[in-house]
Structure 1
Amino acid sequence: MKNRKINVALAQFEPVWKGVHENVQVMLDMIAEAGRWSTDLIVFPELSRTGYVPKPSAEEIAEVAEILPSEDSRRIAQAAEVYGLAVVYGTLEKTADGRAYNSTVWLENGHFFFYRKTHIHWTENFVAGDSLAVFTSRIAKSGALICFDLGFPEAARTLALNGAELIVAPSAVPVTFKEINRRRLMARAMDNQIFVIYSNYTGEKYQGGSLVARPSGESLFEASAEPGVYGLTIDLGEIAYWRDYERLYPHRRPDVYGMSR
């Protein structure tokens, strides 16, 4: 098995709604902590910059949403460069015409990638994104899904078929849904023989549990309910190993998978 090891940090905390300055400072402190461990990639939860509410008002969006790139994204990017790592964080993004997206930003070596949540939970009022993109970083070919997106196998499969070796999954999943969500994360990893890197909120409602799911569908690491930076090493060589061990991709039958809806 070819060795392709990367050091990953799961950064979980409880972002404060509209506490942008406070939240960004927490992220900068966590980036500095992870940087001392020779971390390659740090992943924060959904809307980690702004905090999470499902239905922000127009006034609240105007107050906290950012047009990307922004002053905050540049500060975070600068910290990423100082410590030589990639940063994935969540933010409420607004466009020039006023639309509000629940977005994930990947910052690395001065490069800027972002993903807009495509599957909007029925309790939310964000605008849905319309693309599932795979981007190539120095770490791996990667994709992003946000929280409710993980409920749709087609989304993860699309990323995997387009070359994604790992999916980052910033989320805000309540503890009442923890075990169902855990099984879902393992399934997305196993079905596609990729890594899924999931970062969740802490606090009474969410209680952490950030994790990394392996291409075998097993858990590599699971965090406690406590806020903090949890470091681990993953070996991307496992992807090739499992795809050789169970050769699913060459035996796919897209000719019989047609769906009318």
Structure 2
Amino acid sequence: MTVTFAAAAEGFVRDLDEDFRRIEKLVGRAREAGADLLALPEAALGGYLSSLDGDHDDSPPQLDGDGPEIRRLIDLAGDLVVTAGYCERGDDASGGLPYNSCVAVTGDGVLGRHRKVHQPLSEHYSYAAGDRFAAFDTPIGRMGMMICYDKAFPEAARALAVDGARVVVCMSAWPSSRTNAAPVLADDRWTRRFDLFDRARALENQIVWVSANQAGEFGSMRLVASAKIVDPGGEVLATTGTEAGLAVASIDVDDAVDSARRFMGHLRDRRQGSYAPVPA
């Protein structure tokens, strides 16, 4: 089955009504492009942290996982699969801290959820960490999700691939370098790392990789955009570059994954018994 993916590079803010106006436009553009899945960035509902130094003076609005904002996203999704990040209200297990979360929905309801596991710099002061990676079934096939820094850890994408995900959506609010920033965003070392992780995770697991990211500036951060779709061979099928926009590409997921794995099957050829457990 050929699936058309749309990955968004867009900025989002604290004003939820404004965020939904932007989402509605992106949903409309994705539909016009014939998309089956639209990936929105990390923190698309309410914006990300304004700084990773731990000294930001505002916080994203905390939303309930089944609250009115998620229902509003479901209503907008209709026949699309839509993924989006948000700040999920904390619970007793989190000590009251919220989670940096994402959700996959269609008009029929919630398909899957993920809480960001890996936390960069001072993010742990603002969010509690998730503790798992799990794939789930959707109208476009079995898929998994992760958030931003999660993709820097090969084990995260591998866990989803082993759980049967043939598509992984990674939602980010990935900024440019805070030190020695490049005048041209495309030349920034953190832009290059963002792109490298996307291609490596797709190739090593032989999966379709869909990467959405925030764009523009927010607080002290300049976001690198660079939304893209990557095939199981690590080739970029479409990208927004470092500008806001929508990357759109179509691919027969099963054919592409099966073809990539036919001779050099990275999951099949693992020698699991040779890998010593990694101490915590």
Q: TM-score with structure 1 length normalisation?
A: 0.91
Can you list the C-alpha shifts for 1:171-191, whole angstroms capped at 9, x where unaligned?
011234010121111111111
Alpha-carbon distance, 1:159 to partner: 0.7
Q: Please point out which of 247, 253, 256 is paired with 2:265.
A: 247
Question: Matches of 1:52 and 1:260 in 2, distance apart?
Answer: 32
The aligned amino acid for 2:156 is A
Counting aligned pairs with the same residue, the percent is 29
What secondary structure sits across from 1:145 in the alignment?
strand
User: What is the 5 A alignment of 1:130-209?
Assistant: 130-175=131-176, 176=188, 177-204=190-217, 205-209=222-226
The aligned amino acid for 2:35 is T
1:87 matched to which residue of 2? 82
Residues 1:19 and 2:15 are matched in the alignment: yes
Alpha-carbon distance, 1:196 to partner: 1.1
Alpha-carbon distance, 1:218 to partner: 1.7
The aligned amino acid for 1:167 is V
Question: Matches of 1:178 and 1:49 in 2, distance apart?
Answer: 23
Alpha-carbon distance, 1:19 to partner: 2.0
For structure 2, the 5+ residue unaligned runs are: 177-187
Question: Matches of 2:130 and 2:148 in 1, distance apart?
Answer: 14
Alpha-carbon distance, 1:111 to partner: 2.9
Can you list the C-alpha shifts for 1:101-124, whole angstroms capped at 9, x where unaligned?
001110024231210001111221
Residues 1:28 and 2:24 are matched in the alignment: yes
Answer whether contact 1:28 1:76 (CA < 8 A) is retained: no
CA-based RMSD of the aligned residues comes to 1.8
2:35 matched to which residue of 1? 39
Question: Matches of 1:215 and 1:187 in 2, distance apart?
Answer: 10
Residues 1:259 and 2:265 are matched in the alignment: no
The aligned amino acid for 2:208 is F
For structure 1, the 5+ residue unaligned runs are: none
Question: Matches of 2:278 and 2:224 in 1, distance apart?
Answer: 40
Q: TM-score with structure 2 length normalisation?
A: 0.85
Answer whether contact 1:12 1:45 (CA < 8 A) is retained: yes
The aligned amino acid for 1:42 is L
Moved more, 219-228 or 205-214: 219-228
1:50 matched to which residue of 2? 46
What secondary structure sits across from 1:77 in the alignment?
helix
Q: Please point out which of 70, 75, 81 is paired with 1:73.
A: 70
